[in-house]
């Protein structure tokens, strides 16, 4: 019942998630998936904030996460609108095909 | 029993509660369907189901057997794993949110040294947010079902459902803020307790002056459960059957049960937040009578009566109102319900601040 | 309890993230990201941040990811194809990510004496809540940032509408 988990374990988990996010960001060729891997990285960072907030018994870390969520929501709205605009002109979501300023 | 540790006792009791509540909810879903068919029949001047059993009371059983024995069709071009998982998401999300609903009075029983709440599966300090969160997860079931069946009617239905549910979730969430401000807690138990002082007069609907919030909530809830007059996702005159066009047999039954389970959840939340939950409408006017058994049963009775009233309202609205047009639905949600909900928050918080 | 929650949902989060990386269809990636976010919500809860857990479910899984799924459905994005760029990305991507992981875990492990261990009991069992604490900090000390974020959201909404609108 009272088995404790060191905070370092949470940080390692966050590091794993963050690295997978970096890998997905670099490897994926689909614009939407790349965008999703950014969200994954943000989530990994949020986990470290919450773990530290728990460790120091303070709410500041949790408030940080709250603001990150707000920014992520705004970012998702604008980013997906940009993706829709790109898709409308280029008809593709592959980042390798979207490499010219003029089509 | 003494060789069980506290944790094991707790786990066993919790599983017992979950099973009992699940069985009762599924029975309630089945009989809500029957109730709807009966009442709609009466509204439309016909009898409704009356052949199976006395007064058609065994009709849900017959329906279940029929749906279970039907051929399970799978469209060739469908996205197979998502097609299978979509009804499961819809039904499980609809059933999970019942877990945080306190459907009776506060009754702690102590078994083997472990005290548990009898009429509540889980008393969480963020119960209201949990219900909102699980409702918002339920969108995936509908969105994926339409997309994975690879059918344009289904896709249109699910696109409509997704945008409608996201839009109305805002009004739904904001309409609840007034109640939370009054109760100063997100725990459903605390919200109910804050309304139990003077019976009917301290309910949020009457004494709390939250009737605007209540009407916003009930309209948003109709849109959230995809019920008439907001049943555009499955508008049968335009979209065949909307998002579940391609579903048959048990998978269709799961969507069907999810819709009715959502109806029950929404009615439970309306009861808890605006109509005092399991508290009696007479407060202390009626002197206490009966033993502990009556004390335990009576709140449940009140709760069931209130929820039943909301279910009848659902059916009545479906029987009388025509369907909205899609642009009307969107402008109604964004231009009327949302500003009204915000105004309600501002006025409620001003009144609370001035009183303090 | 804390250990069990950590192992189950940490494994689920890693599995979801790997599935995001390995799946070729964007909708599968989106759904595995939803799994990651839900399991992170459970971890937040076990760390005593129940408000954030609910916000994670409502905001991330319930709004942002639904929006992603909606866009994928709307654009009918198919499977991604392999191109010349993808091979180069494979060569750079995996070693780069591995290097970042090694760096991060080295820092965390070498500093682990500074960290304590977390115990869950007090948070999950009592009905105490830190929502009032969060809100009092948010609405008194951090009122200005809070209002600025609301302006940010407003600007984002306007930008999204302008960007996604059809050009005349």
Which structural domain, as residue segments, surrounds residue C139?
130-168
A101 — pLDDT class (breaks 50, 70, 90): low
Q: Provide mean pLDDT across the span B87-113.
A: 81
> Could you tell me the residue ranges of all domains in chain A?
7-90
> With contact defined as beta carbons under 8 Å apart, do B125 and B187 qualify?
yes
Among the listed ranges B144-158, B308-322, C149-163, which one has the minimum average pLDDT value? Answer: B144-158
The chain C residue lying nearest B141, using CA atoms, is C66
Q: Which of B82, B123, B129 sits opposite C58 (nearest CB)?
A: B129
ipTM, two decimals:
0.86
**Number of domains chain B contains:** 1
Flag whether residue C120 sits within 8 Å of chain B, measured between CB atoms: no
Q: Taking CB atoms and an 8 Å limit, are B125 and C50 in contact across chains?
A: yes
Q: Taking CB atoms and an 8 Å limit, are B139 and C66 in contact across chains?
A: yes
Residues 157-186 on B with a CB inside 8 Å of C are 158-159, 162-163, 166, 169, 186
pLDDT of B257: 87
Backbone angles phi, psi at B122, to 5 degrees: -145, 120
Q: Provide mean pLDDT across the span B251-271.
A: 88
Q: Provide mean pLDDT across the span B189-204.
A: 77
User: pTM of the predicted model, to two decimals?
Assistant: 0.85
Instruction: Say yes or no to pLDDT of A68 above 70.
Output: yes
Q: Taking CB atoms and an 8 Å limit, are A93 and C77 in contact across chains?
A: yes
pLDDT of C5: 82
Q: Taking CB atoms and an 8 Å limit, are A67 and C92 in contact across chains?
A: no
Report the distance separating Cα B151 and Cα B169, nearest Å.
27
Among the listed ranges A63-77, B67-81, B230-244, which one has the minimum average pLDDT value? Answer: B230-244
CA-derived radius of gyration, chain C: 20
> With contact defined as beta carbons under 8 Å apart, do B202 and B276 qualify?
yes
Report the distance separating Cα B95 and Cα B99, nearest Å.
8
Is residue C44 in a domain?
yes
Name the DSSP class of B246.
T
Report the distance separating Cα A78 and Cα B156, nearest Å.
24
Instruction: Say yes or no to pLDDT of B323 above 60.
Output: yes
Sign for the pseudo-dihedral over CA of B81, B82, B86, B89: positive
pLDDT of B2: 57
Is residue B256 in a domain?
yes
The chain C residue lying nearest B186, using CA atoms, is C131
Is residue C102 in a domain?
no
C129 — pLDDT class (breaks 50, 70, 90): low
Q: What is the mean pLDDT of chain A?
A: 83
Nearest to B214 by CA among B272, B299, B137: B272
User: Taking CB atoms and an 8 Å cutoff, what residues of chain C touch B158?
Assistant: 73
Nearest to B247 by CA among B156, B145, B126, B166: B145
**Number of domains chain C contains:** 2
Q: Which residues are within 8 A (CB) of C43 and not within 5 positions of it... i.e. 6 or more apart?
A: A10, A13, A47, A50, C5, C6, C9, C10, C13
C116 — pLDDT class (breaks 50, 70, 90): low
Among the listed ranges C11-20, C89-98, C139-148, which one has the minimum average pLDDT value? Answer: C89-98
Report the distance separating Cα C28 and Cα C17, nearest Å.
11
Q: Which of A2, A11, A55 sits opposite C121 (nearest CB)?
A: A2
| Chain centre to alpha carbon of residue B12 | 27
> With contact defined as beta carbons under 8 Å apart, do B137 and B302 qualify?
no
Q: What is the mean pLDDT of chain B?
A: 82
Q: Provide mean pLDDT across the span C1-25.
A: 86
User: Taking CB atoms and an 8 Å cutoff, what residues of chain B touch C55?
Assistant: 129
Q: Which residues are within 8 A (CB) of B155 and not within 5 positions of it... i.e. 6 or more apart?
A: B146, B147, B149, C73
Among the listed ranges B19-23, B91-95, B278-282, which one has the minimum average pLDDT value? Answer: B278-282
User: Taking CB atoms and an 8 Å cutoff, what residues of chain B touch C129?
Assistant: 125-126, 186-187
Q: Provide mean pLDDT across the span B51-73.
A: 83
**Ramachandran bin of B226, using left for φ above 0, alpha for ψ from -120 to 50, beta for the remaining angles:** left
Is residue C97 in a domain?
no
CA distance readout (Å), C18 to B28, C39, C78, C85: 41, 14, 20, 21
Is residue B40 in a domain?
no
C82 — pLDDT class (breaks 50, 70, 90): low
Q: Are residues C121 and C140 in the same domain?
A: no
Q: Taking CB atoms and an 8 Å limit, are B126 and C50 in contact across chains?
A: yes
Chosen from B81, B133, B167 to mutate, greatest number of chain C CBs within 10 A: B133
A102 — pLDDT class (breaks 50, 70, 90): low
C85 — pLDDT class (breaks 50, 70, 90): low
Q: Could you please report the per-residue DSSP string of C90-140?
A: HHHHHHHHHHHHHHHHHHHHHTGGG--EE--HHHHHS---SHHHHHHIIII
Q: Are residues C12 and C60 in the same domain?
A: yes
- CA angle, C30 as apex, C24 and C36 as ends, to 5°? 115
The chain C residue lying nearest B82, using CA atoms, is C28
pLDDT of C127: 46
Report the distance separating Cα B21 and Cα B25, nearest Å.
6
pLDDT of C81: 67
C124 — pLDDT class (breaks 50, 70, 90): very low
pLDDT of B353: 87
Q: What is the mean pLDDT of chain C?
A: 80
- Tell me: the pLDDT tens digits for A48-59? 888 888 877 777
Q: Provide mean pLDDT across the span B135-141.
A: 87
Instruction: Say yes or no to pLDDT of B215 above 60.
Output: yes
User: Taking CB atoms and an 8 Å cutoff, what residues of chain C touch B125?
Assistant: 50, 127-129, 131
Q: Are residues C46 and C69 in the same domain?
A: yes
Q: Provide mean pLDDT across the span C77-99.
A: 73
Provide the 10 A C-beta neighbour count for residue C92.
Answer: 11
> With contact defined as beta carbons under 8 Å apart, do B260 and B91 qualify?
no
Report the distance separating Cα C71 and Cα B259, nearest Å.
25
Alpha-helical runs (H) found in chain A: 7-27, 31-56, 60-90
> With contact defined as beta carbons under 8 Å apart, do A41 and A25 qualify?
yes
Provide the 10 A C-beta neighbour count for residue C4.
Answer: 13
Q: Helix, strand, or coil here: A92? A: coil
The chain B residue lying nearest C37, using CA atoms, is B137
Is residue C57 in a domain?
yes
- Closest CA–CA distance from residue B150 to any residue of chain C (Å): 11
- Cis omega before residue B68 (within 30°)? no
Q: Helix, strand, or coil here: C27? A: helix
Backbone angles phi, psi at B103, to 5 degrees: -105, 20
pLDDT of B204: 75
Q: Provide mean pLDDT across the span A61-66.
A: 86
pLDDT of C115: 67
Instruction: Say yes or no to pLDDT of B198 above 80.
Output: no
Is residue C106 in a domain?
no
Percent of chain B at pLDDT exceeding 70? 94
Flag whether residue B132 sits within 8 Å of chain C, measured between CB atoms: yes
Q: Are residues C74 and C156 in the same domain?
A: no
| H or E stretch covering B114 | strand B114-117
pLDDT of A1: 44
pLDDT of C84: 64
pLDDT of C36: 92
Tokens 């090694």 belong to which residue? C102
Flag whether residue C68 sits within 8 Å of chain B, measured between CB atoms: no
What is A7-90's CATH number, 1.40.20.10, 3.50.50.60, 3.10.300.10, 1.10.287.3510?
A: 1.10.287.3510
The chain C residue lying nearest A21, using CA atoms, is C17
Report the distance separating Cα B330 and Cα A68, nearest Å.
29
Alpha-helical runs (H) found in B44-79: 59-69
Provide the 10 A C-beta neighbour count for residue B233.
Answer: 25
Q: Taking CB atoms and an 8 Å limit, are C119 and A4 in contact across chains?
A: yes
B210 — pLDDT class (breaks 50, 70, 90): confident
Higher pLDDT, B248 or C150: C150
- Tell me: the pLDDT tens digits for B265-296? 999 888 888 887 777 777 666 666 767 777 77
Q: Are residues C10 and C45 in the same domain?
A: yes
Tokens of B174: 């904001």
Q: Are residues C135 and C64 in the same domain?
A: no
Instruction: Say yes or no to pLDDT of C39 above 80.
Output: yes
Report the distance separating Cα B295 and Cα B119, nearest Å.
12
Which structural domain, as residue segments, surrounds residue B193?
66-355
Q: Which of A15, A17, A33 sits opposite C13 (nearest CB)?
A: A17
List the end-to-end C-alpha distance of chain B, in Å, as a whole number. 51
């Amino acid at each position: 019942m009272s088995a404790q988990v060191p905070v370092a374990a949470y940080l390692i988990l966050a590091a794993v998630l963050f690295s997978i996010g970096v890998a997905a960001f670099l490897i994926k060729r689909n614009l939407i998936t790349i965008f999703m891997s950014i969200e994954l990285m943000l989530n990994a960072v949020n986990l470290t904030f919450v773990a530290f907030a728990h460790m120091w018994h303070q709410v500041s870390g949790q408030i940080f996460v709250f603001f990150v969520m707000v920014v992520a929501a705004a970012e998702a709205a604008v980013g997906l609108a940009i993706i829709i605009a790109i898709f409308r002109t280029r008809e593709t979501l592959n980042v390798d095909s979207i490499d010219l300023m003029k089509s | 029993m003494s060789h069980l540790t506290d944790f094991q006792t707790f786990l066993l009791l919790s599983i017992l509660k979950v099973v009992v509540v699940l069985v009762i909810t599924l029975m309630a879903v089945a009989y809500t369907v029957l109730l709807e068919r009966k009442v709609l029949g009466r509204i439309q001047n016909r009898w409704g189901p009356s052949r199976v059993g006395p007064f058609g009371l065994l009709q849900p059983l017959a329906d279940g057997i029929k749906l279970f024995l039907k051929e399970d069709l799978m469209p060739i071009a469908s996205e197979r794993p998502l097609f299978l998982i979509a009804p499961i998401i819809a039904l499980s999300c609809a059933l999970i949110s019942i877990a945080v609903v306190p459907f009776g009075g506060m009754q702690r029983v102590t078994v083997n040294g472990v005290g548990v709440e009898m009429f509540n599966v889980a008393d969480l300090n963020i119960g209201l947010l949990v219900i909102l969160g699980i409702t918002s997860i339920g969108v995936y079931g509908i969105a994926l079902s339409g997309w994975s069946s690879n059918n344009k009617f289904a896709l249109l239905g699910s696109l409509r459902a997704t945008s409608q549910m996201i839009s109305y979730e805002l009004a739904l969430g904001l309409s609840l803020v007034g109640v939370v401000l009054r109760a100063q807690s997100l725990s459903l138990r605390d919200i109910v307790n804050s309304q139990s002082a003077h019976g009917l007069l301290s309910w949020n609907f009457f004494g709390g002056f939250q009737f605007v919030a209540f009407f916003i909530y009930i309209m948003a809830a109709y849109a959230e459960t995809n019920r008439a007059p907001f049943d555009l996702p499955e508008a049968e005159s335009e979209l065949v059957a909307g998002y579940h066009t391609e579903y048959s047999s048990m998978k269709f039954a799961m969507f069907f049960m999810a819709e009715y389970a959502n109806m029950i959840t929404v009615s439970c939340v309306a009861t808890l937040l605006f109509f005092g939950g399991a508290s009696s409408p007479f407060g202390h006017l009626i002197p206490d009578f009966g033993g502990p058994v009556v004390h335990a049963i009576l709140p449940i009775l009140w709760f069931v009566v209130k929820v039943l009233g909301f279910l009848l309202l659902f059916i009545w609205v479906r029987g009388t109102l025509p369907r909205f047009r899609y642009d009307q639905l969107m402008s109604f949600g964004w231009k009327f319900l949302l500003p009204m909900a915000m105004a309600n928050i501002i006025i409620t918080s001003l009144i609370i601040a001035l009183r303090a | 309890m804390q250990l069990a929650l950590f192992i189950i949902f940490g494994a689920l989060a890693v599995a979801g993230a790997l599935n995001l990386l390995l799946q070729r269809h964007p909708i599968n990636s989106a759904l595995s990201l939803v799994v990651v976010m839900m399991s992170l919500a459970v971890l937040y809860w076990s760390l005593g941040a129940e408000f954030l857990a609910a916000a994670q479910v409502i905001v991330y899984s319930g709004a942002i990811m639904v929006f992603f799924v909606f866009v994928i459905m709307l654009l009918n994005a198919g499977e991604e194809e392999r191109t010349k760029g993808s091979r180069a990305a494979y060569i750079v991507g995996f070693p780069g990510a591995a290097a970042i992981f090694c760096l991060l875990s080295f820092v965390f492990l070498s500093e682990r004496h500074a960290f304590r261990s977390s115990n869950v009991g007090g948070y999950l069992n009592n009905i105490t809540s830190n929502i009032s604490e969060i809100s009092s900090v948010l609405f008194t000390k951090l009122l200005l940032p809070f209002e600025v974020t609301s302006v940010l959201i407003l600007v984002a909404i306007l930008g999204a509408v302008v960007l996604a609108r059809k050009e005349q």
